[in-house]
Amino acid sequence: MADKFDVIVIGAGPGGYVAAIRAAQLGLKAACVEKWIGKEGNVVHGGTCLNVGCIPSKALLEASHKFVEAKHDFDDMGINAGDVTMDVKKMMARKDKIVKNLTGGISGLFKANGVTSIEGTGKVVSGKQVEVTDHDGKTTTYDAENIIIAAGSVPIEIPPTPLVDGMVVDSTGALEFQETPKRLGVIGAGIIGLELGSVWNRLGSEVTVLEAMDDFLPMVDTAIAKETQKILKKQGLDIKLNARVTGSEVKGEEVVVKYTDANGEQEMTFDKLIVCVGRRPYTKGVIADGVSIELDERGFIFVDDQCRTNVPGVYAVGDCVRGPMLAHKASEEGIMVADIIAGHKAEMNYDTIPNVVYTFPEVAWVGMTEQDAKAKGIEVKIGAFPFAASGRAMANNATEGTAKIIADAETDRILGMHIVGQHAGEMIAQGVIAMEFGSSAEDLALTCYAHPTMSEAVHEAALAVDGHAIHMANRKKRK
């Protein structure tokens, strides 16, 4: 007779492993089921984020950024780095080592917190039972008072561009190139397209990004998105908007891509092609036939605001449910659900989830854009401050970008913060905290910021909301 648990979590990504640890910390008997086989042939924890997503891509972004700095920017600072070259294989090996350390770290955290790790493929076979099939095909059924499905997502494949090993790849394959392609095509100017396009552009590829939509980064405030587009273009990323890919064909060592734009049918030839046109929820095989957990029309597991499915005691979190596909959103949902199962009151504020694109400079935002607010009929006040006017940005050689705050004209409450600039991903936490605490722009304006820091741009933007920025000419009449 297999063990009985208070909670069984299916999936050990940032939603699942965090939920399992929190549940165990709250005194619940918790288990986490994972099937992912790592490069060394054993089961690894951490899901997409640690294995083939957030972490490995950041390792490559950081290395490629340092390469650009050493090759092109150091000279400005009087540093002579000589002939700078990149060893792509070594960069990849470092990335793999980071992944191994982190995924191994989760196993350690499970042990330290008393979470039972179960290896194999988990399936909900009833509201209170999970069947696990191990890698030898043996099945075991575990009883659980509560079940959390955290099965994640997988890249979307589109019929025009079938994957071809090593030539036409998804975001996972793009982390494995062993040399810099001369001509790289990227389909989709979403977050993955811009991040991976940046890595290889910095390492010397000629990168063309083909994006079907007319708008660039439509979820970002228009002024910040426009500035980002300009900066990336200057770096050499050729971003073609309104370019819908309709087909691809591998011919020898090349990939020929067909797309349509305003001028009709077009064709381009690349050495490698990355397809990053979005991700879809991964629910295949997770729910047994006869278990009536509802999915929505797009295949996401249907949940309420507190991640309850329609079956009592069964919850779902992360990429397999509605909302942004972000690791930190998944983790917060995991914590909320563990708290609820342990009998606590818990909820999540979906309005204050930050987003970051880890290009250089980074793009980060939380809350409404100026356009969102206007569309909702909310009258707003805007404060924006360019990094070009920041002393620290000049010292850092990072003067591109702007911090922008959108505040309610009547109440002064901060509705959104959108930033493009070096360390924007760190700075956005200020906007998140301010919004969580219901702050006004004046609250930030009255806060003492350390000098000289990049964050002072946020302070100045807050001051600018009422026309009181110090280090630039204010456009608005002061009150």
Ligand X SMILES: NC(=O)c1ccc[n+]([C@@H]2O[C@H](COP(=O)([O-])OP(=O)(O)OC[C@H]3O[C@@H](n4cnc5c(N)ncnc54)[C@H](O)[C@@H]3O)[C@@H](O)[C@H]2O)c1
325 annotated as ligand-binding: yes
Compute the radius of gyration of the chain from its Cα atoms.
Answer: 24
Cβ 383 to ligand X, closest distance in Å?
A: 25
Distance CA 246, CA 224 (A): 30
DSSP 89: H
The helix (run of H) or strand (run of E) holding residue 212 is none
Cβ 256 to ligand X, closest distance in Å?
A: 15
Distance CA 405, CA 385 (A): 9
Residue closer to ligand X by CB (options 188, 416) is 188
Distance CA 449, CA 403 (A): 15
97 annotated as ligand-binding: no
Strand positions, DSSP E, 35-159? 116-119, 121-126, 129-133, 139-149, 153-155
- With a CB cutoff of 8 Å and minimum separation 6, the contacts of 104 are none
Residue closer to ligand X by CB (options 287, 424) is 424
278 annotated as ligand-binding: yes
Distance CA 172, CA 341 (A): 34
189 annotated as ligand-binding: yes
Residue closer to ligand X by CB (options 108, 324) is 324
Distance CA 259, CA 256 (A): 10
197 annotated as ligand-binding: no
Q: Which has the closest alpha carbon to 321: 289, 287, 283?
A: 283
Tokens of 441: 């722009």
Q: Which of 72, 135, 344, 451 is catalytic?
A: 451
Residue closer to ligand X by CB (options 173, 188) is 188
Tokens of 404: 């922008």
Name the residues that contact ligand X, by CB under 6 A.
158, 187-193, 195, 210-213, 244-245, 276-279, 324-326, 356-358
194 annotated as ligand-binding: yes
Residue closer to ligand X by CB (options 128, 329) is 329
Distance CA 25, CA 4 (A): 18
Return the residue nearest ligand X (CB atom). 190
- With a CB cutoff of 8 Å and minimum separation 6, the contacts of 473 are none
Cβ 350 to ligand X, closest distance in Å?
A: 14
122 annotated as ligand-binding: yes
Let me know if 451 is a catalytic residue.
yes
Cβ 208 to ligand X, closest distance in Å?
A: 11
Distance CA 388, CA 82 (A): 29
Cβ 239 to ligand X, closest distance in Å?
A: 11
- The binding site for NAD(+) comprises 188-195, 211, 278
Residues annotated as catalytic are 451
Q: Residues at the annotated binding site for FAD?
A: 58, 122, 319, 325-328
Binding positions are: 58, 122, 188-195, 211, 278, 319, 325-328
